[in-house]
Structure 1
Amino acid sequence: MKIVSSGKVLNSLEFYKKKIRKRRVKLGFLLLVFLLIIYSLTHLSREERFLISAVAIIGEDVINREEITGVVRNELQGSYLWLVPKTNIFLYPKRKIEKNLLEQFPGIKSAHFNVGKNNNLHISIDERQPFAIYCERIDSPADPTLSLPERTGVHADECYFIDEEGLIFAVAPSFSGGVYFVYTAYKPIEEPLGKRFVSKRELDSLSGFIESLSKLNILATTLEVGDDEYYLFIIGGGQIIWRKGSDMALIYANLEAFLSDETIQTQSDFLGRILYLDLRTENKVFYKFRE
């Protein structure tokens, strides 16, 4: 009888056990090396030369400096998996700190982190700058001579600063009404701090249009954003009304052409007597005088 080998080796039980022992020894050795590396890195991460020693908030006239510092220090407490301290200069939770700062302090536009000499954590704060004011309601929108509380009929803590991006970020003092243009909304924004009044694109369009009206001798004081229309209050008590989504260049051109018409030009104090100028119909201007 001829025996042909299949190429496979039949291992004995003793050989198999020996092979298992070698594998276990190898795995045990690798585990020991891994644990030693973890221990060494953990021990190294706790050395004082690798730990944040202090927090410094950098920025001109940062209002909530102490509160910001408190939030940062709170995020630096504790350790990762009870091993690596969060104050480690290489592993501190920068993204989480930045996220919390932007959420808790709407006035912060951005925060930049840097570990300086003596392991001081420097946080450079870029604060939002007031561009306009948002008030929850307006009682006397067309009289800029009144103080903000008199003009709006609301308490001082119900008017807020808006930055150039349209974000509501801080309570506005009562004396700010004569310095910044005032916006309001037909439907007040609940808990407005940190919310966007309008998009940056919309705010740019509105503010640009309002500024251009000075060329037509129209001085605006307040703009109300409705569901489908804008209501612009001008000195004298009148309103200019137009639809949302309209071509602002066309609105301006129609208004300019209307005011340049001879029949309008010959009327005494036309803008001071109107109740409204309605530009919601394309290429038409409707108006009504106050009674």
Structure 2
Amino acid sequence: MSRVAVLGLGAMGSRMAARLLKAGHSVTVWNRSAGPADALVESGAVSAPTPRAAAAGCELVITMVYDDAASEAVWLAPDTGALAGLEKGCVGIECSTVSLRHVLRLHDLAQERDLAFLDAPVAGSRPQAEAGELVFMAGGRVDVLETVGAVFLDLGRSAFHAGGPGAGALVKLMVNALLAAQTATLAELLGLAARSGADTATALEIIGATAVASPAIVSGGRAMLAGTFAPAAPVDLIAKDLALALRAGRDVGARLPMVAAGGAVFGTANAAGFGGDNLTGVVKLYRNPVPAG
């Protein structure tokens, strides 16, 4: 089994660390606040005082944090950053959903130190992290992915090589943008159905029986109708990710009008106070909640 450090013990990182412990890996953890580490330490993890200390002696260092600023602090802080603590043969892995620009910088800095590095964000949220059903999309050298593939499969059901540095980060932004566009569109259409006097549950059932409906849309629609918005992928995170996708588009001159439209919807929902809701909470913009029947 491998010696793994997990840096960032939020909703995803804590569940990933727990999966690694169950799989028999030696796990060191770090979090900005100490509390989230307690249950993991009780299960056999070692808590480190800094990211650099956590990285020492590990074969893999996985980071799962909120945004670019948090990732930069974890990897690059002058006295405590993990990158300086990586030893030869250790693989640094950025699993957070962060900007393409930031990921490419991390790859460059790792290469300067002759260190192996992957950007490997995941598809899936809290239930998938608990069940080991995450999908990894990795950017970087394929031989580096091959060295850590077995650990990824202890955390998820598949690990794809998306391409060179930054490819994993880019595909993750594409995945989240597509999910956001579908969710926002369904929310406004259910609002239309409700205001038109239609049976929204029947409308959703019919849509779900067609080829246009993804599993995420069917389950998301049911949550909208039930008015259950416990966060798995919260509105504020989706708004953040859409902004990252738009920035990536600006950097290469790509037009992203649909992403911009989705960003406006989720930005409005966030500003309206729905940021902590699951992304399906955007339905509150159209009727709060859209009733079934």
Q: What's the TM-score once normalised by structure 2's chain length?
A: 0.22
Instruction: Considering fraction of residues, name the structure with more helix.
Output: 2
Larger of the two Rg values belongs to structure = 1
Q: What's the TM-score once normalised by structure 1's chain length?
A: 0.22
Larger RCO (CA within 8 A; separation ≥ 6): 2
